[in-house]
Amino acid sequence: MSVERATPQRVVVLLSGAGTLAAALLAAGRPSFDVVAVGADRDAAGLTAAREQGLPTFVVPLSAHPDRAAWDTALAAALAAHDPDWVICAGFMKLLGPAVLEAFAGRVVNTHPALLPAFPGAHAVRDALAAGVTTTGATVHLVDAGLDTGPVLAQVGVPVLPGDDETALHERIKTVERELLVTTLDTLCTTRPLETPR
């Protein structure tokens, strides 16, 4: 059973770096969702594309707050100001805390450069190479309180080629990761599953 969505869903994107995933969402042109703001935990390069398109941006640095709980509360408020239907972590390199996860329960989506539950964490591509696997890939999943442990929404495999180093493999994963994020978000915003098993 599903719920049909007639109007574009409001999306706020969080990033920490160059913003190639965010740029893919901005360029997607899907009628099912609108990116209404882009935020970061630092003055990241990825905010530039959003600013060039006239989108609101915001920065909530961890260093500006006395502890992670205060930062998380501030981030939740910054997100809420844009009234998002979905919060997309697109290369956002901070763990979200209870304030954000409770405010947007079941509506925070992350991408990860591995086939979860294999290789969670910040060094997934390096870890896959070290393990000697022949296939890794990309995952789009809902965010929970764990480290890359939320329900998987979609995955796509990427072969590990002879002679691959971390940079080469990661670039190939990013290519499919961008497409996977756009198509998965489009599906969520068109017909949102009521239940998504891992």
Rounded CA gap, 47 and 32, in Å?
23
Place of tokens 């086939």: 115
Which residues are CB-contacts of 190 (< 8 A; sequence separation ≥ 6)?
A: 4, 5, 32
Cross-strand bridge partners of residue 58: 39
112 is catalytic: yes
Rounded CA gap, 24 and 98, in Å?
28
Can you read off the two tokens belonging to residue 52? 């060039």
Rounded CA gap, 83 and 113, in Å?
28
Question: What is the H or E stretch that residue 175 is in?
Answer: helix 166-190
Catalytic residue among 112, 123, 141, 170: 112
- The catalytic site residues sit at 112
